[in-house]
C-alpha cells in the first residue's frame, strides 16, 4: 500500500519541483523592459493571451547578411543574442554581455521566444487594441534567466502596469 501511495504522489512531487525551479529562475532573473508590438495570428485560443512581438528592429543588429556573405545565411537559423548592456543583437556573445536574451537570426531579423502574455479573458480585447496603439507605448517587463530564457512578468502601457492602466482608463 505504501508503494502505491508513493507512486501516486510521485508525479505531483515532480511537477511541484519543476514549478518551484521555474519560479526560482524567474525571481532571480534580470528585469528588463522592451518595446512590443501586437499582431493577430488568428489563434483558436485568442482571448486568453495577447500575441505580442518584442520590437527588436530599433536595436543595432548583426543579423543582416552582408553583400559579401553567402546569401543562404538569410534563410538559415543562426544563434544570436540580445545584449541588454549594449542594446545590440550579436551572433557571438562576449564577456561584457551580462544579461542577454537568447534567440536566433533568420531572414535578416532577430527572433526571440517571447510571443505570448497571458491576461484575464475579460480584458483581452481592450488590451489587444491598446498594444496595437503606438500612443500607449506598449512595453513588456521581462525576467531574463542566466541561460537567456525570457519570461514575461507584466505588460506596461503608458508607463503603468496593465492592471493599473485598465483601472485608470476603464474603471475595470
Per residue in 74-114, pLDDT (tens digit) is 778 889 999 988 899 999 988 888 889 999 998 888 999 88
Bridge partners of 31, per DSSP, are 143
Kindly report, residue by residue over 19-54, the tens digit of the pLDDT: 888 888 778 888 999 999 876 555 555 556 778 888
Bridging pattern class, strands 78-83 and 139-144: unpaired
This prediction has a pTM of 0.79
Question: Domains in the chain: how many in total?
Answer: 1
**Percentage of the chain with pLDDT > 90?**
31
Report the distance separating Cα 16 and Cα 22, nearest Å: 10
pLDDT for 142:
94
- The domain of 101 spans 2-170
| Distance separating alpha carbons of residues 123 and 118, to the nearest angstrom | 11
Cα–Cα distance measured from residue 60 to residue 46, given in angstroms and rounded to the nearest whole number: 32
Rounded to whole angstroms, what are the CA distances from 124 to 25, 46, 56?
27, 8, 24
Amino acid at each position: 500500500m505504501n508503494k502505491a501511495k508513493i507512486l501516486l504522489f510521485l508525479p505531483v512531487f515532480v511537477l511541484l519541483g519543476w514549478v518551484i525551479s521555474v519560479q526560482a529562475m524567474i525571481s532571480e532573473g534580470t528585469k528588463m523592459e522592451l518595446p512590443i508590438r501586437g499582431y493577430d495570428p488568428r489563434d483558436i485560443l485568442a482571448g486568453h493571451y495577447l500575441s505580442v512581438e518584442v520590437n527588436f528592429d530599433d536595436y543595432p543588429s548583426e543579423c543582416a547578411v552582408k553583400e559579401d556573405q553567402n546569401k543562404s545565411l538569410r534563410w538559415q537559423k543562426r544563434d544570436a543574442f540580445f545584449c541588454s548592456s549594449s542594446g545590440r543583437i550579436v551572433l557571438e556573445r562576449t564577456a561584457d554581455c551580462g544579461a542577454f536574451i537568447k534567440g536566433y537570426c533568420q531572414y535578416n531579423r532577430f527572433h526571440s521566444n517571447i510571443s505570448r502574455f497571458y491576461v484575464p479573458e475579460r480584458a483581452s480585447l481592450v488590451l489587444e487594441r491598446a498594444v496595437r496603439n503606438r500612443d500607449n507605448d506598449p512595453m513588456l517587463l521581462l525576467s531574463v534567466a542566466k541561460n537567456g530564457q525570457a519570461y514575461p512578468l507584466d505588460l506596461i502601457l503608458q508607463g503603468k502596469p496593465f492592471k493599473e492602466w485598465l483601472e485608470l482608463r476603464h474603471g475595470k
